[in-house]
Structure 1
Amino acid sequence: MKSMLKKSLLLLLALLLLAALLLTLHLRGKRPQREGELALSGLRAEVSVRYDEFGVPHISAAHEDDLYRALGYVHAQDRLFQMEMLRRLARGELAEVLGPKLLETDRLFRTLGIRAHADAYVAREFAQIDTPAKRSLMAYLDGINQYQATRPAPLEFEVLGLPKRPFTPADTVSVAGYLAYSFAAAFRTEPVLTQIRDQLGAAYLPIFDLAWRPDGVLRQGLRPGDWQDLGRLARLSQNALEAAGQPVFEGSNAWAIAGRRTLSGKPLLAGDPHIQFSTPAVWYEAHLRSPGFELYGHFQALNPAALLGHNEKFAWSLTMFQNDDIDLVAEKLNPADPNQVWYRGAWVAMQSREETIVVKGAEPLKLRLRRSPHGPIINDALAGAVGATPIAMWWALLETENPVLQAFYELNRADTLDKARQAAAQIHAPGLNVVWAGAGGDIGWWAAARLPQRPAGVNPNFILDGASGEADKPGFLPFSANPQEENPARGYIVSANHQPAGAQPVPGYYNLWDRAERLDSLLRDSSIRWAPANTRALQLDVQTGYHQRILRPVLPLLRAAAQSEPDQALVEELAAWDGKFSLAPRAPVLFQQFLYELAHAALADELGEQAFDNLRRTRVLDPALPRLLADPDSPWWDKRGTPAVETRAQIVQQAWAATLAHLRKTLGADSKTWSWGAAHTLTHPHPLGQQQPLDKIFNVGPWPVPGTRELPNNLDARLGPAPWAVVTGPSTRRIIDFGQPGQSLGINPVGQSGVWGDAHYADQSKLHAQGQYRSQHLLEADVAAHTRSRLLLRPQP
């Protein structure tokens, strides 16, 4: 009996070992092939791909088409699942593979019209493949499709049952539309500001630095059902992006410094775009080389043109312009015909189209999507909408030519100031700041967007009245009227999502100015000579003056609110704090929790929890809070539903008590254990990691990290209660000094590969969290010295 049991256990162990071996071999077969030889159809000559110690491919080709075909192949090796999910998100096709839980997201993106716009754009612009930019896209997509057709499917494809299907130019254009949408703040901002204006009144607007005009209130008025729908749309616009597990673009830093201000005597460029963290990371690095062309680029899924890049002659980075390129428009319906709206003095019929969403495990959903003269009717994104007023969306992406593929193809080759300016002029949407530097000494910045003309007096921060003409656009401003600078006398340019200076302010949803002011205060110090070392310190800086603007008016009130000696000691710790969000201090924990409690106590009772939640996801709340705290007579201090009129002092006292109660409950009763690093952590989530226990397998982190929202080191956890999970931050940090352009520095937040189990899946995540950098090999000698493997792509016989 014992012998039989022993044999059974040995057999079971053998079977388990065999299963583990087979699984290992199965997963190994899915890893990227980085050495040896492969045949690729369509190549005119051999292409060499050398991989360095971090898995960055250095691609050398004799022909440009071969270069992009090889880029598509190696990009797909590392990121095919990312490509698949991004195109499905952009085109409203997630429910087909993920089921009904993604139906709302698909509905939203179908309603936005990104899919229909992309299909029409490609049918119009790709009727003839007559430009190098178009040929580069076709070759790149062919490389992706060849990889997909000949190699094993990624693990995620098997887990989710994803079918393979070819990638097309319409997928690329759709993803570009998604990226533009992820920039847009109008969905979250305009409804709540309009609600404050129309329901609360003029006295509640000053904290947002907005004027109230009686003729600005929507003439037909929005009913409770309309406000309910707008609140749902605001939540949906944010939740749809989060549910899909794909990066959202949030903000960025970039600066260019002229040679007279640098240690090397040559221009220096630094940039760190702020994007939602994810696994895999948003950027894919690749070094491209063909006759007459070389670029070390940062690429996004399904795009053959680098959005960030450099070589020995020039470099550029991007930040978000933050211009308001979406207007929400309340339409007036014809009482006799619900398919007509009032437009320019007449009843005009809305257009409509039908689309079908395939849903895994359920019946397909047929949608009837409407469009007024102002744009798509976004109410159609909601199942069970209760409002009666159609809300249209005017969006520059849908209303401009937007030759963005051509723009970035040219920017990848823009070795002069003139060429860079000409490339930037072709970016119509989304709005981007292009910050450029050249080895010859020039630096430049262009706010790139097609800016609409609006009727005088129209404030697009609010929902516009479609019947009055205020939503109409007479035309667009010329690019020469956009904010821009070339070789300014001060010797540097800084872009940090702040409102740019200019004779005519550009409407937009700009970030808090403190981050830009902190960068500018150091860059304008003429005694500093800039080099990679102190530029790195500036990118990692964790201080602004925002805490002073918050605490200065309320410190006397906090001192009065402290009820015990330990509490008084905590207040004095805040008073003495220098505003640095480093890992060790306790003061940042107190400040961040107090900021949330104060905002909630002052604003949520007037707005309601839903609208307050929408407001705290916008950019307008950060600058509003210092204005609120500086005004003891603001009506926001009074709590609705109580007979007394509460004061600022009472709300501060309430917020401080709630702060300490929450921190003791969540971080421990002993306040000596509270530290910013313990409460503020970064995890890079994978789409499959949203489900337990897959989060333990696919997600990367958590890492304790310094910084916070709207600091130079902008590791941003949204305003809310502790602990704080970082959502967005530096998606790469780059430093290019043209004194030694071949020795540039950079970092990837996670790793080059999106293939689980691969050596480069997460090999940079700890370095990124610790503020470290690595070399971006550009010079031939460095590439050769750091080559770890070589893949040769041969023409298929």
Structure 2
Amino acid sequence: MRRVLAALSGLLVLGATGGSFYLNEQRPQRAGELALPGLAAPVAVRFDAQGVPHVRAQNEADLYRALGYLHAQERLFQMELLRRLARGELAEVLGAGLVDTDRLFRSLRLGERAAAMAAAEDKTAPAWQALQAYLAGINHYQASRALPLEFDLLGIRPRPFSAADSFAVIGYMAYSFAAALRSEPLLTHVRDRLGAGYLEIFGLAGAAGGPAPALAGADWRGLHALAQLADAAPGRGLSQFEGSNAWALSGARTASGKPLLAGDPHIRFSVPQVWYSAHLSAPGFELYGQHHALIPFALLGHNREFGWSLTMFQNDDLDLIAERVDPAHPGQVRYQGRWVDLENRREVIRVKDGADVELTLQRSPHGPIVNAALGELAGPTPIALRWVFHEAHNPILGAFHRLNRAASLAEARAAAAGIAAPGLNIVWASASGDIAWWAAGRLLERPAGAHAAFVLDGGSAQAAPPRYLPFAANPHEENPARGYVLSANQAPAGFAVPGYYNPDGRYRRLRERLDAPGVRWDVDNSQALQLDGGSDLAQRLLAPLLGELRAALHGEELALLEELAAWDGEHRLDSRPAVLFNQLLYQLAREAMADELGGDFFAALLGTRRVIPALVALAADPGSPWWDDRATPEREGRAQIAARAWRAGLAHLRGVLGADPAQWQWGRAHTLTFAHPLGRVAPLDRLLNVGEFAAPGSHEVPNNLAHKFGPAPWPVEYGPSIRRLVDFAAPQQGLASAPLGQSGVPFDDHYADQAQDYLAGAYRPMALDAEEIAAQARGVLWLRP
């Protein structure tokens, strides 16, 4: 970092003489002419008022080559950092502080799996040919134009991007969805160290599963470290998928008489924003899409005929397996009734300004051993990771190539069937009148006695390979009678699919609104629904506690409680009850559960999706063993712990927000700063980060601007990565709200030009019509052979 700051100081000195020239060289070119070798014909690019390129090519190969070039000129550093993250190569450019993250991703074997996926692709398929053209465009930009500021600051030496890099980034996306890494160690600890009675609030009463693995004290330390590492990676300034909302309404439910599509994937905020929007057209193909770094096909998109959005399915497609080690031969583990050797491979993590780190990666027949991720914190028992992403055939590249062209219900269904991992909900609508939802991903039928919520015993029958189910068994709906499909990361109704689903409050809130009789939906009331910051969580949590709290409190403590009791659940910027409730939510968890779990596993609990439903269940159960404080000789009950939590919460708020409760406003305590990966230290924070902004919304409300579960203040970590609305009566007038701006180039006009509008709930057009695009364009950029 000293080298970075020295380079930055030099740049600032240059600012008086040549700094502006240096920065102008790095800005995207949006008019004029550029040579792009490999094109068969010229490609015209018009940039609209938001900086979104509208690309017209004579064939699809040229279209994707141009997309790669354009994507790189605004997001090359994002591409570089994401491939390094997935491959476990961040410490090489960011230093020793990233060694733990690199260990994790080396242990996950994403680079190894990516190489295998690339090798298995059909090299004659249209998807592979498009990927090669896209990568060629990226690599030509990198070889011919000025490198990003961040490359100079970090001393990054450019190297060509490959198909394996693209598949590694897909692997990182799959890791983002793998909540089992965070939840299974915690729940296994609760079951095996506290007892089955403590599982009831997690909805796991009677779900002890098969034989518990024999784990030593050091193993529990290692499992906690794994949960914490998985929760912390990738760290500030890098995107990670968290959840989403999406719905599609049939024409019978809309004001226009045509289907309406709404979607807002929830992703950890970063600089630059995750999505690169582009409007692509060639003979026989047109799509306005949102593209992820190093993936040529839009993961969200629409045109005049159809469109779709995504949410996380959150099915459990990963098992942690505690291996049984042969005492006489520690390099062997039990597998299907016999002892087998662990495979070993040595790797080296290069560390900037530090000594290289060597690690031994191991693999059992169950999958990669993750102990190497933990360094000195690893326990003696090898923990294997069995994951659908590693094992199943996963033609996801071709699936999204087809989804980008899926104009009919049958074509969209067939595209969804090609996705094995990560699990995704695809919400799709067409101008012809169809709406549908498919849960995409390979579902598992585990052996009898194997409970997906817990670490499995590798020497028992519960660790036998699961059976893959056909796509026809996946949850889905096509043109349901109620007139809409809805996905908000909830457990799919009517289907027994193990998973780490979000609390159902957000889903219930959206469904309640969509079920309202007599409402004809349009883009205006759909905007209001996407921006809804309300929840009934406070009412559900407080209802069983209010009587006991009222009996225990008096004076200001009681007055503030009554204010909270009357709250409508809306997280407005001036709301004091929102502050009171979110502090109580954390404080109740701490007072009731930290003594049993200890500091390490309590911290792990806060990083899981199970904490909120567990607290609602706990509040409703006065006899739960969690209410007793193990640190005292007395036996406490719900009334004592709830009152203690309320008083401790008020004391904390006085300490961090001031003694006067009039100052306790949600907008002061709940803020959003868009963080650049290098924006952790001054003065880079002021130059590269964007914000701070007062932020509405909260976790598990439709406007899911979410913070880490904990005490005030609450910096927002993730939220809608883009909000999209398309009424297929006028798809050329689709609307979007993006959190930052199109460009990832610091100091560019479109680096953060949408941030304030995003926080205010403003939307901007996604233009499809040539006349509107031409009216906005500030010239044409021609890419020529």
AA aligned to 1:236 is L
Q: How far apart are residue 215 of structure 1 and its match?
A: 6.0
1:428 paired to 2:424: no
User: Which of 508, 515, 521 is the matching residue for 2:512?
Assistant: 521
User: Which of 690, 695, 699 is the matching residue for 1:705?
Assistant: 695
AA aligned to 1:198 is D
1:232 paired to 2:225: yes
Structure 1 residue aligned with 2:400: 408
Structure 1: runs of 5 or more not aligned? 1-14
Partners of 1:261 and 1:526 within 8 A in 2: no
Report the Cα distance in structure 1 between the residues aligned to 2:530 and 2:277, rounded to whole angstroms: 20
User: Which of 354, 363, 370 is the matching residue for 1:362?
Assistant: 354
1:132 paired to 2:126: yes
- Equivalent runs, 1:169-208 vs 2, <5 Å: 169-208=163-202
Partners of 1:561 and 1:656 within 8 A in 2: no
Report the Cα distance in structure 2 between the residues aligned to 1:51 and 1:74, rounded to whole angstroms: 11
User: Which of 273, 279, 284 is the matching residue for 2:276?
Assistant: 284
AA aligned to 1:521 is E
Q: How far apart are residue 386 of structure 1 and its match?
A: 4.7
Pair 113,735 (structure 1): closer, same or farther in 2 beyond 3 Å:
same
- Equivalent runs, 1:135-534 vs 2, <5 Å: 135-212=129-206, 216-219=210-213, 221-242=214-235, 245-502=237-494, 504-534=495-525
Pair 614,391 (structure 1): closer, same or farther in 2 beyond 3 Å:
same
Partners of 1:716 and 1:727 within 8 A in 2: yes
Partners of 1:197 and 1:217 within 8 A in 2: no
Pair 422,386 (structure 1): closer, same or farther in 2 beyond 3 Å:
closer
Summarize deviations over 1:689-734 as a string: whole Å, max 9, x none: 1223311111111111111000011010121111110001000000
Partners of 1:274 and 1:731 within 8 A in 2: yes
Q: How far apart are residue 350 of structure 1 and its match?
A: 1.8
Partner-residue secondary structure (3-state), 1:27: helix
Partners of 1:197 and 1:212 within 8 A in 2: no
AA aligned to 1:693 is P
Partners of 1:68 and 1:136 within 8 A in 2: yes
Q: How far apart are residue 32 of structure 1 and its match?
A: 0.6
Report the Cα distance in structure 2 between the residues aligned to 1:484 and 1:717, rounded to whole angstroms: 31
Partner-residue secondary structure (3-state), 1:725: strand
Report the Cα distance in structure 1 between the residues aligned to 2:367 and 2:739, rounded to whole angstroms: 38
Structure 2 residue aligned with 1:11: none
Summarize deviations over 1:453-506 as a string: whole Å, max 9, x none: 21134211011111112122342000000000100011100000000012x410
Report the Cα distance in structure 1 between the residues aligned to 2:31 and 2:766, rounded to whole angstroms: 21
Partners of 2:259 and 2:729 within 8 A in 1: yes
User: Which of 657, 662, 667 is the matching residue for 1:672?
Assistant: 662
- RMSD, aligned α-carbons: 1.3
Structure 1 residue aligned with 2:7: none
Report the Cα distance in structure 2 between the residues aligned to 1:642 and 1:256, rounded to whole angstroms: 54
Structure 2: runs of 5 or more not aligned? 1-10
Report the Cα distance in structure 1 between the residues aligned to 2:764 and 2:518, rounded to whole angstroms: 28
Partner-residue secondary structure (3-state), 1:241: coil
Summarize deviations over 1:48-96 as a string: whole Å, max 9, x none: 0100011000000001110000000010011000000000000111111
Report the Cα distance in structure 2 between the residues aligned to 1:251 and 1:511, rounded to whole angstroms: 8
Structure 1 residue aligned with 2:597: 607
Q: How far apart are residue 780 of structure 1 and its match?
A: 1.4
Q: How far apart are residue 297 of structure 1 and its match?
A: 0.3
Q: How far apart are residue 591 of structure 1 and its match?
A: 0.5
Pair 334,320 (structure 1): closer, same or farther in 2 beyond 3 Å:
same
Partners of 1:187 and 1:233 within 8 A in 2: yes
Query: Higher mean Cα deviation, 713-722 or 425-434?
Result: 713-722
Summarize deviations over 1:95-118 as a string: whole Å, max 9, x none: 111121111111111110101111
Partners of 2:372 and 2:378 within 8 A in 1: no
- Equivalent runs, 1:12-91 vs 2, <5 Å: 19-91=15-87
Q: How far apart are residue 19 of structure 1 and its match?
A: 4.8
Q: How far apart are residue 340 of structure 1 and its match?
A: 1.2
Q: How far apart are residue 16 of structure 1 and its match?
A: 9.5
TM-score after normalising by structure 1: 0.96
Report the Cα distance in structure 2 between the residues aligned to 1:472 and 1:545, rounded to whole angstroms: 42
Report the Cα distance in structure 2 between the residues aligned to 1:17 and 1:194, rounded to whole angstroms: 56
Report the Cα distance in structure 2 between the residues aligned to 1:577 and 1:678, rounded to whole angstroms: 18
Summarize deviations over 1:297-356 as a string: whole Å, max 9, x none: 000000100000000000000000000011000110111111111111111122222222
Summarize deviations over 1:363-382 as a string: whole Å, max 9, x none: 33332211111111111212
Report the Cα distance in structure 2 between the residues aligned to 1:762 and 1:149, rounded to whole angstroms: 27
Report the Cα distance in structure 2 between the residues aligned to 1:412 and 1:155, rounded to whole angstroms: 33
AA aligned to 1:274 is H
Structure 1 residue aligned with 2:5: none
Report the Cα distance in structure 2 between the residues aligned to 1:521 and 1:378, rounded to whole angstroms: 43
Report the Cα distance in structure 1 between the residues aligned to 2:309 and 2:208, rounded to whole angstroms: 43
Q: How far apart are residue 213 of structure 1 and its match?
A: 5.4
AA aligned to 1:660 is L
TM-score after normalising by structure 2: 0.97
Partner-residue secondary structure (3-state), 1:720: coil
Pair 470,365 (structure 1): closer, same or farther in 2 beyond 3 Å:
same
Structure 1 residue aligned with 2:8: none
Q: How far apart are residue 401 of structure 1 and its match?
A: 1.2
Partners of 1:424 and 1:446 within 8 A in 2: yes
AA aligned to 1:628 is L
Structure 2 residue aligned with 1:6: none
Partners of 2:210 and 2:462 within 8 A in 1: no
AA aligned to 1:167 is F
Q: How far apart are residue 274 of structure 1 and its match?
A: 0.3
Partners of 1:707 and 1:715 within 8 A in 2: yes
Q: How far apart are residue 150 of structure 1 and its match?
A: 0.6
AA aligned to 1:47 is V
Structure 1 residue aligned with 2:784: 794
Partners of 2:736 and 2:764 within 8 A in 1: yes
Summarize deviations over 1:397-456 as a string: whole Å, max 9, x none: 001111111000000000000000000000000000000000000001100001122113
Report the Cα distance in structure 2 between the residues aligned to 1:673 and 1:213, rounded to whole angstroms: 46
Structure 1 residue aligned with 2:560: 570
AA aligned to 2:713 is P
Report the Cα distance in structure 2 between the residues aligned to 1:597 and 1:428, rounded to whole angstroms: 40
Pair 214,75 (structure 1): closer, same or farther in 2 beyond 3 Å:
closer
AA aligned to 2:347 is E
AA aligned to 2:559 is A
Structure 2 residue aligned with 1:543: 534
1:623 paired to 2:613: yes
Report the Cα distance in structure 2 between the residues aligned to 1:163 and 1:249, rounded to whole angstroms: 28
Partner-residue secondary structure (3-state), 1:309: strand
Report the Cα distance in structure 1 between the residues aligned to 2:63 and 2:535, rounded to whole angstroms: 44
Pair 786,575 (structure 1): closer, same or farther in 2 beyond 3 Å:
same
Q: How far apart are residue 786 of structure 1 and its match?
A: 1.6
Percentage of matched positions with identical amino acids? 57
User: Which of 617, 634, 648 is the matching residue for 2:638?
Assistant: 648
Partner-residue secondary structure (3-state), 1:759: coil
Report the Cα distance in structure 2 between the residues aligned to 1:18 and 1:256, rounded to whole angstroms: 53
AA aligned to 1:682 is L
